[in-house]
Structure 1
Amino acid sequence: MNDIDETGKTVAANVRRLRAQRGLTTQQLAERLEGLGRPILANAITKIEQGRRRVDVDDLMALAIALGVTPNALLLPHEARGEHQPTAMPEPVTQGVLWFWANGTMTLPSSADPTVEGVESGEEAEQHQAEFRSQAAPQAVHPAALFAHLVDLKAAVDAGVEMVRSTRALASTVAGVAAKNADIWTAVADGMKEVGEGDRQLEELRVQLAALKEKAAEAEQPR
C-alpha cells in the first residue's frame, strides 16, 4: 500500500482547519458522521488530522457533508495563491488553476496533463477543452445548474462592484487625509523655515553686537 501522499496531507490539514473553524470537537464531528450513517470514531478523526489514517472516497464524501463543504474543499489547498503538486501530478501547478480544473472549468496545463499528448492545433485544443468540460462536469449543461451558476455569477459581480465602490470611497478618504496632511506638513515646513530665518537674523544680531562690543572696548582704551 502506498504511503499517504501530498493530497492525503492536504485532506488532513483541511479536515483539521474546517473542524476548528466550525468549533467542533473530534467527538462532535464523530457524532455528526454517525448520524450520516458513516461513523468514524473521534480518535480515528484525530489520526486523520495527523496524517496517520487514510481517508477513502466514502469517508471523504461523508466528511465533506458533515463539515458543510464540497469534496474539492478537502482535496485542494484552501488558498488560491501559490503552487501545489497533488498526488500523481508531474509538476507543481498554480492553485487557482487546480480549482478551475477540479470544478470542471478548464483542463490542466498540457505539461501536467498526459491526455493532451498529440493535441497540436488550436482547434484540437479547443475540442479537448470542450470534451473535458462535458466529461468533468456534465451537470453544468443542465438549465437549472446553469441558472444557479448565473445567480452565483451575478452575486460575484455585485460583490465586485461593491468592492470597487468601497475602494473608490477608501481612495477618496485616503486622498483627503493625504491632502490634509500635506497642508499640515506644508505649514510645518513654513514654520521651520521661519524659525530658520529667525535663527539667521539672531545670528546676525549676535555678530553686530560682538562688533559693537569690540568698538566700545577700543574706545575705552587710553590713547
Structure 2
Amino acid sequence: MGRKREFDMDKALDAALCVFWRKGYEGVSYTDLTQATGVERPALYSAFGNKEALFHQVLERYYEHYLDFIPAALELPTSREVAAHILLSAAELNTRYPDRKGCLGVHGALAGSDDAEPIRRALIDARADGEVSLRNRFEQAKQEGDLPETANCAALAAFVLTVLHGIAVQAKAGFSRDMLEAVAEQALSTWPTGNSTLSRSS
C-alpha cells in the first residue's frame, strides 16, 4: 500500500491558490509554495505534479469557487443584466482580499518568460472560451429582441471582457471597489437596447 498523505489536499490547494493569486505564476517559487501549504517539496510533487500542473489545478479551483458569477450571469433575463452582473461582481471580487487584489487569470496571461508560455496560452484559451459563451448569450438576446438587430454580438462580448480585464488590472494598481463599480456603470451606460418589453424594463 502507498503511504497515506499527511496533509489536506483541499487546504493545500487553497493555500497555493492564494500565493499564485498574490504573486502571479512566475513570481511564485517552490519555497513560497512549501511555506504557504506547510508541505515539503517532494510531497507537493507527489500530490500535484510540477509547478505548472499545480497551477492548472489551482486555476480550475479558482474558476469553480471564485468565478461562478459568470455562468450565473449567463442565466439572467437580459443582456444588460448579464454584463452588469459580470462587471459588478468582478469589481467586488478583485477588491475583496487586500493581500491579493485583481484576477488570478488576468495576471497570469500577461507577458512572461518562454518557460511560462504554456500557462499564458492556457489562460488565453480559457478567456476565448468565455468570450464564445458570452457572444452566444448575446446572439440569443438579439433573437429575442433584447438587443437591436444591428448589434455586433462579437464586439459586445469583447467589450465586456475588455472592461472586465481592465477592472482586474486597475484593482491590482489600487483602485477602490467604489471606483471600479463607477467604471462598470459608465461602461453599461452605453449598452444597446432592443424593442422587447424585457429590454426596456431592464
Q: Which of the five TM-score ranges fits, normalised by the shorter chain? A: under 0.3
**Which one has more relative contact order, counting CA pairs under 8 Å at least 6 apart?**
2
Normalised to the residue count of structure 1, the TM-score between the two structures is: 0.25
Please report the TM-score for the alignment, with normalisation by the length of structure 2.
0.27
Structure showing greater radius of gyration is 1
